[in-house]
Each structure stands twice: as structure tokens, then as C-alpha cells.
DNA sequence: TTGAATTGTATAGTGTACTTGTACAATATA
DNA sequence: TATATTGTACAAGTACACTATACAATTCAA
């Protein structure tokens, strides 16, 4: 599978963060596994309609999180991640807040609680551990 | 109750959006109800440590969403909102994506699925309808 | 009725973040 | 060993967030 992701250039979320988010999804769900190679920054950038430096920034984000190893010439490779380093409580709070705000915005937009729960389980599905 | 909210100035999420998020929470949960007055932008701004224009931007955001009515001299007042206007599919997708990304980041940080579900229910709790 | 105080609005300025352009360094490959 | 491939570094342009300041509409006390 050639890694097909897409981003929304009209979104207020910066492109490099969207790219990181979508790639993180493939990593968390196991569609990309240790040893797998990611496409070169220039190729993915062309596919998504952004500059390759924008993709490179996303790769660096994921490398910092421990998902990837980057090397010029060799490209980006998924590495064994082990136990995620314990996040700072401040960072933990932000993650929980992001979830809460997402739910609140959906409620405010009129989503039934049912459907929100469904969306949640979709997001949890396929996640190992 | 004097409306006590707090924001995180170190967060990458812009202050005006955090303020709107926290206020939306009080609105969705019914802690602020139609007819209630919000604090003047200058007062809330002082409380939060930002410029009053930043608070004003948050108020405008919520006014656009149909929660508030703004008038100089009178201040910001919660209005009856009725049925939320049907969001554009594009906007709907973004809401669902935000939820998905929040969950994925929590998983990536090592949160057990259990606790994520708990956080979700905390966010849903107290929500009418 | 009037004038001062209160409250949101408008607009310009400043700093920061995002994206791009371009040159470069390290690795792979023919 | 030369060339292509791949990520990196850094400067420039643009958009966004926040602030400063002046302003307009409303409220309220004298």
C-alpha cells in the first residue's frame, strides 16, 4: 500500500501538523510498522500540494516523538518505539483538553451523544495494546 | 458564580480560541444560560492576563456561532440559540477529525483506551439533550 | 437633560509562526 | 567514482495572533 493520506489546505490547522497527524494515525494503528520506509519528502509534498520543507517539518515532529529515524540519502524509516516517554502533566492536560473541546464543539454543532461515541470508537478501533 | 475560567498561555492554541473554547463549555453545559451577562472584555482580559481585544475576538467568535449578542455599552449577553445551523460537511469533517486526532495523540502518549473513554464521558456529562 | 463612565468596535503596529525558495551535506547507486 | 537521491539549514515572504490606541454606542448618575 503506497501510503495515501490527504490534508485540508483550507483548515486553520497548519499543513505540517495535519501531515504529522495523518502519519501518526498510520503509525498508531499499525499500518506503518518498524522498518517501513516513508516516501521521500519531495514525493509526499508533490502528492499533497505543499513544499517539501513542510513535509520535512512533519517528519521531524514525528522523529522527535520517537516514531521515525531520519537520515539524508536514506530517507525516513519507522523505528521501534518502545514505551512512550512519560509526558509532562502539562502536556497530559493539553491532550485531555483537546479531546474535551472536540466533544464540546461537536455537541455545540448538534451532534447526538450517540454519534460522538461512535466516532470515538472508530478512533480507538484497530489500536493495539 | 463569577465565571472562573483559565487558559494556558504556553499552549500552541491561540489565547482567543482557548477563551472561546472555555466559554463554549459553560454554554454547552448550561452553566451560562440565555439572559446571563458575560463579564466585560476588559475585566475578563485582566483576569486572564491578555489584552481586552483578545477577549473581544473570542466573544465575536461565539457571537458568530449564535451564542451571544454583543452591544457596546450593554456588554455581552447569552441569547436563545435554537437549533444550531446545519454545519457544512467540510466543517463537520473537521470536527470529527479533531476528535480522532485527540484520541490518536492520547494513544500515542500511552493512555489506556479505558481512560480515554472516561475522559470522553466526562466531556459528555452534564450536556443537555 | 446632560455629561461622565462603561462597553464593544475599528484600525494600525509589532512579533511570531507557517510556508516557501534555494543552497547544501550525507547517503545510495550505477 | 560520479551522479542521483534524500534530508537539512537558513533566509525571505506572508499570514496570523496579540497589543496599543482612538472611537462609537449605550448606560447611568447628577
DSSP B81-116: --SPPPPPHHHHHHHHHHHHHHHHHHHHTT--HHHH
Q: What local confidence, expressed as pLDDT, does residue A126 receive?
A: 63
**How far in angstroms lies nucleotide D12's C1' from the CA of residue B129?**
52
Grid-cell match 521515525, residue found: A68
Measured CA to CA, the distance from residue A82 to residue B110 in angstroms comes to 10
Q: Is B65 on the interface with A (CB under 8 A)?
A: yes
Return the CATH architecture of domain B15-78.
Answer: Orthogonal Bundle (1.10)
Contact B90 A8 (CB under 8 A): yes
The one-digit pLDDT tens for each residue of chain B (129 residues) are 678 999 999 999 999 999 999 999 999 999 999 999 999 999 999 999 999 999 999 999 999 999 999 999 999 999 999 888 788 898 899 999 999 999 999 999 999 999 999 999 988 876 554
Of the residues A82, A120, A129, the best mutation for testing chain B's interface (the one with the most B CB atoms within 10 Å of its CB) is A120
Cβ-based contacts of B97 with chain A (< 8 Å): 21
Cell numbers for B122 = 466526562
What length is written for chain A?
129
- Beta pairing, strands A68-71 & A75-78: antiparallel
Residues A108, B27: C-beta atoms closer than 8 Å: yes
Cα–Cα distance between A100 and A94 in angstroms, integer?
10
Of B29, B66, B106, B16, nearest in space to A21 by CA = B106
Residue A71's SS3 state is strand
**Mean of pLDDT values over A19-39:** 96
Q: CB contact, 8 Å: B124 with chain A?
A: yes
| pLDDT reported for residue B21 | 97
Contact A75, A38 (CB under 8 A): yes
Amino acid at each position: 500500500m503506497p501510503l495515501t493520506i490527504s490534508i485540508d489546505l483550507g483548515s486553520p490547522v497548519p499543513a505540517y501538523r495535519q501531515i504529522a497527524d495523518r502519519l501518526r494515525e498510520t503509525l498508531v494503528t499499525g499500518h506503518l510498522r518498524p522498518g517501513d520506509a516513508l516516501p521521500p519528502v519531495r514525493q509526499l509534498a508533490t502528492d499533497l500540494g505543499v513544499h517539501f520543507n513542510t513535509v520535512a517539518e512533519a517528519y521531524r515532529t514525528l522523529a522527535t516523538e520517537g516514531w521515525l529515524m531520519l537520515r539524508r540519502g536514506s530517507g525516513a524509516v519507522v523505528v521501534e518505539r518502545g514505551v512512550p516517554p512519560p509526558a509532562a502533566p502539562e502536556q497530559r492536560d493539553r491532550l485531555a483538553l483537546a479531546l474535551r473541546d472536540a466533544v464540546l464543539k461537536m455537541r455545540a454543532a448538534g451532534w447526538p451523544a450517540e454519534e460522538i461515541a461512535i466516532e470515538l470508537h472508530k478512533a480507538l478501533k484497530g489500536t493495539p495494546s
